[in-house]
Structure 1
Amino acid sequence: MIDKSKYDVIIIGGSYSGLSAAMSLGRSLRHVLVIDSGLPCNRQTPHSHNFITQDGEKPEIISAKAKLQVEYYDTVEFYQGLAISADKTDNGFEVKTESGKVFNSKKLLFATGVKDLLPEIPGFAECWGISVIHCPYCHGYEVKKEKTAILANGDMGFEYAKLISNWTKDLRLITNGKSTLTLEQTQILKKHNIEIIEDEIDSVEHENGIVQNIIFKNESKRSVKAIYFRAPFQQHCTLPEFLGCELTDQGLLKVDTFMKTTIPGIFASGDCHIQARSVAMAVSSGSLAGAMINKELIDLEFV
């Protein structure tokens, strides 16, 4: 009889990457527990794009369909809850949940994503993932040729403006204070008719998350259809750091080409380690992580 408190792998995070890894491991006949708190970072986004076969689908429908398919594999189990602690043991890892449940596994996969840190501008958070967007590959086609703003400054603002100009020429860069662009960058943007606005933002007017106007502290306003913003972030889950996993300079979990973190037995997939965030990237990294974990388990068995 299988001890249901002990698994080959515990996956913390049951969104796209965690589910993808669970499918890979389930098909490898591994006993897997997926612990998920049910708070994916794109839960406010109405549609997912640039993911073949699912383009334009609602994110929750994609994840629900994925979970249903993963549940087909009877060696994969799910636990709805929050993992609050994790410790290294002689035989692997012990994970404790908020409800007091304790589970053990040989390997541990973090597919926990990141938490976006949004500016404290009234109306901004309500529009995040809807009309305040981060990725033109995910959302740019839907606002192509529309009146668009970019909230950024300096080198990031310059490179972001160059990128977004592929989707629309009706573009303005809002530095939200004094510009830190170089003279050369400023001249190049002006040459391409990209307006630079240094006024500070007061609020974002919107209707159900659809931006209408950007209101500035000098009481002027600009009508736009979309705002691009690359949010700073922090790890959604601090357990990897507690266990000693290193972060990159960007604050992402450091992994090698086999999805291994810097701590033996611990792997990572999805947004918690990928700078290019998208559903497709998360699914891909989860599938790879599952295969690499299975390979490591096989190697341990052949000693």
Structure 2
Amino acid sequence: MYDVIVVGGSFAGLSAALHLARARRKVLLLDAGLPRNRFADEAHGLLGHDGRPPTAILRDARSQLLRYPTVEIRTGEASVVERIDDGFAVGLSSGAEARARRLVLATGVTDTLPPIPGLRERWGESVLHCPYCHGYEVRDLPLAVLAAHPMSPHQALLIPDWGPTTYFTQGEFEPEPAELQAFAARGVAIERTPIVALLGEAPGLDGVRLADGRELNVAAIFTAPRTAPTTPLAAMLGCEHEDGPTGPFIKIDQWGATSVDGVWAAGDAATPMHNATLAAAAGVLAGIGAHQAGVRAAPR
């Protein structure tokens, strides 16, 4: 019986596990090995790691975590979870089972991009989500915002700080009158004819082809994919969810506690704001919250 099982081995999960390990708790980290940012060659805006490959950051974090004798890491997908008398039982896709008194869910989200050929092949390279993470690397180039949900005009208002911007409504997400005024003030061009194809050899981007046959010069596209929980574990446990601009996320309090006693959540699965630094910070809070709850339940 572990004190805590942490499901998810990226920034949030590793951060939660580290703080639990430093509190000398017996921790199992389950890692499916598919971090959300695996498509990006470099991480940016992460203090002390700017420009490093995310895989290298996570590799070093795992190595540091394993220095603590109370930690175990298993590679595998957690496929089922249920409450038991003294905690929780987590079943892995391999058929193995692990039990713990408490859980931290750092399971992340899965991205669904707009259905345009070529977007997936360029994801993380020339098709991007976060300008704070990747905008500087495409600065001063012709940039596009591909509308994917009602918040897309807000994204388009940000991008001109990195380069000349065109907002593609895709014939669906027309800016409101106030947003149109802000577009004019920020120099954002609007294109209402949908993009139907991306040009150039992936993962690079030379331009886009529109439904009317025109081709426009574009070097990078920003878009916000639809997101969904990577695993059904939180739903299996009955954790409450909230609706975010791109998809549902687990409802938590300031310490990462979910609506289910004994379960915490952190990272992209538990917030509408997705960023490696924020995920790591949320992991700290969830790990400390899970530790302190254990202290209250059974003082050492």
Q: TM-score under structure 1 normalisation? A: 0.94
Name the aligned partner's letter for residue 293 of structure 2.
E
Bigger CA drift: 273-282 or 67-76?
273-282
Tell me what 2:251 maps to: 254
Tell me what 1:128 maps to: 123
Work out which of the residue numbers 143, 156, 181 in structure 2 matches 1:148: 143
Shift of 1:276: 1.8
Name the aligned partner's letter for residue 87 of structure 1.
E
CA-atom RMSD, angstroms?
1.6
Equivalent runs, 1:1-303 vs 2, <5 Å: 6-152=1-147, 156-168=151-163, 170-177=164-171, 180-250=174-244, 251-302=248-299
Deviation string for 1:25-58 (max 9, x for gaps)?
Answer: 1111100111111011111111000011100000
Do the aligned residues in 1 keep the contact of 2:152 with 2:173 (CA within 8 Å)?
Answer: no
Shift of 1:154: 7.8
Instruction: Tell me the SS of whatever aligns to 1:276.
Output: coil
Shift of 1:180: 2.1
Shift of 1:179: 5.3
Change in Cα spacing, 1:190 to 1:179, as seen in structure 2 (3 Å) is farther
Q: 1:126, 1:115 → 2: CA distance?
A: 16
Do the aligned residues in 2 keep the contact of 1:154 with 1:181 (CA within 8 Å)?
Answer: no
Do the aligned residues in 1 keep the contact of 2:80 with 2:91 (CA within 8 Å)?
Answer: yes
Q: 2:233, 2:148 → 1: CA distance?
A: 33
Change in Cα spacing, 1:296 to 1:184, as seen in structure 2 (3 Å) is closer
Q: 1:189, 1:261 → 2: CA distance?
A: 39
Do the aligned residues in 2 keep the contact of 1:259 with 1:289 (CA within 8 Å)?
Answer: yes
Do the aligned residues in 1 keep the contact of 2:32 with 2:77 (CA within 8 Å)?
Answer: yes
Gaps of 5+ in 1: 1-5
Shift of 1:134: 1.2
Instruction: Tell me the SS of whatever aligns to 1:109.
Output: strand
Deviation string for 1:132-160 (max 9, x for gaps)?
Answer: 11111111111122110001278523322
Do the aligned residues in 2 keep the contact of 1:154 with 1:182 (CA within 8 Å)?
Answer: no
Q: 2:99, 2:17 → 1: CA distance?
A: 16
Q: 2:172, 2:94 → 1: CA distance?
A: 49
Q: 1:198, 1:139 → 2: CA distance?
A: 25
Do the aligned residues in 1 keep the contact of 2:170 with 2:194 (CA within 8 Å)?
Answer: yes
Name the aligned partner's letter for residue 290 of structure 1.
G
Q: 2:232, 2:149 → 1: CA distance?
A: 30
Name the aligned partner's letter for residue 34 of structure 1.
L
Q: 1:252, 1:154 → 2: CA distance?
A: 16
Q: 2:153, 2:194 → 1: CA distance?
A: 18
Change in Cα spacing, 1:186 to 1:209, as seen in structure 2 (3 Å) is same
Do the aligned residues in 1 keep the contact of 2:147 with 2:173 (CA within 8 Å)?
Answer: no
Deviation string for 1:144-190 (max 9, x for gaps)?
Answer: 2211000127852332222112222x111001115522344334423
Q: 1:219, 1:64 → 2: CA distance?
A: 46
Bigger CA drift: 20-29 or 190-199?
190-199
Q: TM-score under structure 2 normalisation? A: 0.95
Deviation string for 1:107-155 (max 9, x for gaps)?
Answer: 0110000001111211001111111111111111111221100012785
Tell me what 1:3 maps to: none
Name the aligned partner's letter for residue 240 of structure 2.
E
